[in-house]
Every structure is written in C-alpha cells, then in structure tokens.
Chain A
Amino acid sequence: MRAWATASEIAQAVQSGAASAVSVTEAALARIAEHDGVLNSFTAVTRDRALAKAKAIDTAKTRGEALGPLAGVPFAVKNLFDVAGLTTLAGSKINRDHAPAKTDATLITRMEAAGAVLVGALNMGEYAYDFTGENVHDGPSRNPHDTERMTGGSSGGSGGSVAGGLVPISLGSDTNGSIRVPSSLCGLFGLKPTYGRLSRARTFPFVASLDHLGPLARSTRDLALAYDAMQGHDADDPVCAKRPVEPALAALERGTSGLRVAVAGGYFKRGASPEALAAVERIAKALDATRVVEFPEAARARAAAYVITATEGASLHLDRLRSRAGDFDPAVRDRLIAGAMTPASLVVKAHKFRRWYRDEVAKLFDSVDAILAPATPCTAPKLGQQTLMLDGVEMPLRPNVGIYTQPISFIGLPVVAVPVPLKPLPIGVQIIAAPWREDLALRIAHALETEKVAAAPRPQQWGAD
C-alpha cells in the first residue's frame, strides 16, 4: 500500500484482501516515526492500541465478516479529544495533571466502528485559542510544504499529519476557523459541519456556543467517508442535533449542474492577499460563479464572534487563571484575562446580534446554494511571525488569520475548505452552504477536485511513496 494512499483506497484494499490492516497500520506507524521528529504533529502515538485494532480487523476479514467503510484506515485526533488511557492535553501544560481519559470521544468510537484505526493524538494551539499551530509547551507543528512555516491552528497537528502523508484523515475542532485555517495553509480539504451536526461529547471545550468538530483529508471522498461515519444524534452532547444521518458520500458525484454558486464580496475581498484573491477567482471561474453577494454586517459578525470567544473562553478558564496563571502560554493567558474583564453587557449584545445576523444571512440562501470566500487572508506565514499585512496595514497575526472564517462559524454554517495548489504554497477557499447542507458543499468540492482545480498538493520533500 502506498504511503500516500487515500482512506478510500486503503479501505478498498483492506476490504478486498489486497492489503492487511496490520500492514497498513505498521506502515503508518513507521512513517510517523520517520518524519514526525520534524513535523511535530503528534503528541502521543497509540501503537499498541492501533495494532490490536488492526489485528481485529484482519481477523474479522479472515472470518468472512463484513468490514466497515473505513476498514484499516489510520487516523489521528487533535489532543483535545478524549482517548481512553491518555490524558487529554488540549494543548496545555495545566491539563497534564489530569487523570487519563476513561472513555473515547464519541467521534473516535464512531470512526473505529466504521473500521478506522486510531494511531495517535495531535499537537494543537493551547486550549484551541490559536490560529498559528504554534505551542509553547510542545513546540510548533510544522508545515510539510515548508517546515519553517506555520501549519495554521489551532488544529495544527491535524493539518501537518495529513499534509505530510502520515495519516490520510485527522479530526480537528473549529471554533472560529481551526479546521479551515490549517486546511488552507497546509493545502488540505477540511469540513466544518453545521453547528450541532457532529457530537462533541468527551472533547475538551473552548467556546461552547461556537465549538464544532470535523475531519481534514487529502480528498473529498475521504472527507465524506469520515463525515458519514461520524453523523448521528448523541445524547452525551446537549447541542447535538436530533437529525437523521444524511449521508453525503452517495451524492458526491452528482456534479454542480443546477447549483447556484456566488462569490462573497465586500468584507471578504478586503485585506486579502493577491494569492487569496487569485484562489477564489480560480474556483469561481471553474464553477462559472459570476454573481457577488454580500454577507450583511460581516465585520460586525466577526467582532461579535471575537467578543463571545474572549468571554466564554475566559469563563471556562477562570479558576485556572486564578490558580495557575503562570502555567498558561502567556499569549493565551493575557487574551483570556482581558476576556474575563470584558463587561457582560457587551456579550449579551453580541448574542442578540447573532440571531439577527443568522436570520439575515439565511435570506442569501433563498437564491444561492453555496457562497465562495477566502479561507485565510494569506498563505502560510513563517513560524514566529507576529504580524501580517491587511489592506496595507500591519496587524497582529494571531487574531487576524481568521478574519474570513469567523463570520461563518459565528452562525454555524457548514463549510468545506478546498485547497488551491498555488506555487510555492497552497491556499484554501471556503465553500459555504446553508445549514445542514454539507452534502452540497462536498459535491461542489468534489467536482472541483475532479476537474483538478482543487487539489491537496504533495509536499516535495515528504512526497515519496
């Protein structure tokens, strides 16, 4: 089995008997051992567990039992997912004192029920309050396209591990852009589903009213496979929707005929680098999307998401800020302390504005099926870079990488980030759909992948089979 095989190819090979799950797992573990010293995407490798699971799959195959759609597919999870036997770090020093988790996160259980093999936990920005993929405790995740550059965050290891060919699928979380930003900077397909679609049970939270989980992969088929395996109500997550499973894989190849696609104007064009604009233009041209729509009050939506994030995050960590302030990443600590001091009256205004904004944006989807917008304002910045240029103005980098993702996750819309393989570095474009229409965003992404307009480029130095 080629190291660079997709999840779909691996599952087919294991199902047909062309490859064993154990051989695939051993190859993934060997590749992690060979390359992760540089990429720094893993914080734990679950070798024994992975091999035991792989053996069980091969035994089931020998017995003639039906194998799941992800049979033998190695995957890894951001280290805010509970993994039985591991301490859930959430990128922090403080949580290292917690007892190991007793039970896996629901999404891990569902991935494994479909035959996937968990191989480890992944590096991330501290407590997910991050767009860089840097971590002061574990060191930065490194971008496989240029290891001196950021993966993007906070799901940094989730981006680096898949872009570096260590695993075909990873799971991340996205509160303000933390799946879409690393997808963009690492050149991957990433799915942030509708708020409430996928269970967050047994994952460490950040901002309850904005937290989403989802997959990153090198193909849309792999995204759909993982997404379908993880769907379904879960009573262990109070906001997980009571909706039936709505499979996306079966509809993936229906094409874009009849779908109305527009481009987000105004706010979503301001501040974007030439690369970000070129990527959107390339995708729009391929989809024949000429109409421009405006997200009403998008800047204010971003501002409201920022306020809610700072204050809900501060509330979550208030006791730790009192007792262990010195153990935080200073950059995270000082943002959280500022959040703790923000007047509640402003927070309530932000929540009121959110309802207004959701209702206004919903009207856009009366006449379009999907909207295109940049995923990030620029390609991967250098590690340690503190500022970026927006509209010719030098701005702090850390909070501003997510300017185009925040107004979308603020109201929970589903998004597929698709990679445009620009040289020398890729960059992503968001395909934004109406609530619960992940299937449409995935269909459009798949059509773009089929036409080779969107593609997860193989990094030169990590690209060998």
Chain B
Amino acid sequence: MNETQDDTLEQFIEVAAKALELPIDPTWVPTIKANLQVTLRFGKEVAEFPLSDEAEPAFVFEA
C-alpha cells in the first residue's frame, strides 16, 4: 500500500472501522489517514529488512 492510493486507504479505514467496531466521524478520516500513511510507511521500512525465518521476536523485551 503506498501513499498515492488515497481512495484505497480511505476505503480501508472505512472497512477496518466497521470490522473493529470503531465509530469514526467522517471529519476524523483525513487525520487518521495521514497517521496511517506514516505508520504503514514505517511498517514497510521495517518489513523490508531481511531477517531469517527463524528470527525470534522480542515481545517481552530484555535489555
């Protein structure tokens, strides 16, 4: 999903809000979309980093 697919992202927000039972006022959508674009861009950047299938997540993190 890239940042130019404005309509797609707006449709995604609408559907995801229904699926998650989140009441969304239409006036909130532009800001939600802007935030989601950033989170997805950062998520893509992370996901592109090559790690082995065996790489363990650090959910319960130990320093």
Contact = CB atoms under 8 A, between A and B. Distances in A.
On chain A, which size bracket covers the interface? 35 or more
B7 interface: no
B62 A352 contact: no
Nearest to A306: B42
Nearest to A311: B39
Given A341-B16, A352-B55, A209 B60 contact: yes
Contact of A351 (B20, B23, B35, B57): B57
Interface stretch (A116-124, A155-163, A224-232, A296-304): A296-304
Interface in A264-318: 297, 299-300, 303-304, 306-307, 310-311, 318
B46 A300 contact: yes
Contact of B59 (A304, A335, A351, A435): A351
B28 A333 contact: yes
A307 B57 contact: no
Given A333-B28, A340-B20, A342-B36, A352 B42 contact: no
Interface stretch (A24-32, A166-174, A354-362): A354-362
What is the interface residue range for chain B against chain A? 35 or more
A195 interface: yes
A399 interface: yes
A56 interface: no
A304 B42 contact: yes
Given A307-B46, A325-B23, A337 B59 contact: no
A334 B39 contact: no
B35 A303 contact: no
Interface string B12-33: 1100110011111100100111
Contacts of A331: 31
A193 B45 CA distance: 28
A325 B21 CA distance: 12
Give the secondary structure class of A's interface: helix
Nearest to A350: B46
B30 to A, nearest CB: 9
Contact of B39 (A306, A322, A355): A306
A187 interface: no
A346 B59 contact: no
Contacts of A340: 16, 20, 22
A338 B32 contact: yes
Contacts of B24: 325, 337
A337 B63 contact: no
A303 B32 contact: no
Contacts of A341: 12-13, 16-17, 20, 32, 36
A269 to B, nearest CB: 20
B43 A196 contact: no
A345 B42 CA distance: 13
Contacts of B36: 338, 341-342
B31 A334 contact: yes
Contacts of B51: 349, 352-353, 356
A326 to B, nearest CB: 8
A146 B21 CA distance: 44
A339 interface: yes
Nearest to B24: A337
A36 B58 CA distance: 42
Interface of B: 12-13, 16-17, 20-25, 28, 31-33, 35-36, 38-40, 42-47, 49, 51, 55-63
Question: Which 5 residue pairs are nearest across A and B when measured between Cβ atoms?
Answer: A346-B43, A351-B57, A338-B35, A412-B63, A303-B42
Interface of A: 194-196, 209-210, 239, 297, 299-300, 303-304, 306-307, 310-311, 318, 321-322, 325, 330-331, 333-335, 337-343, 345-356, 358, 399, 411-413, 435-436
Given A209-B60, A337-B17, 18 more contacts: A239-B60, A300-B45, A303-B42, A303-B43, A307-B39, A310-B35, A333-B28, A337-B32, A337-B35, A338-B38, A339-B35, A340-B22, A345-B47, A349-B47, A350-B43, A350-B46, A351-B57, A356-B49
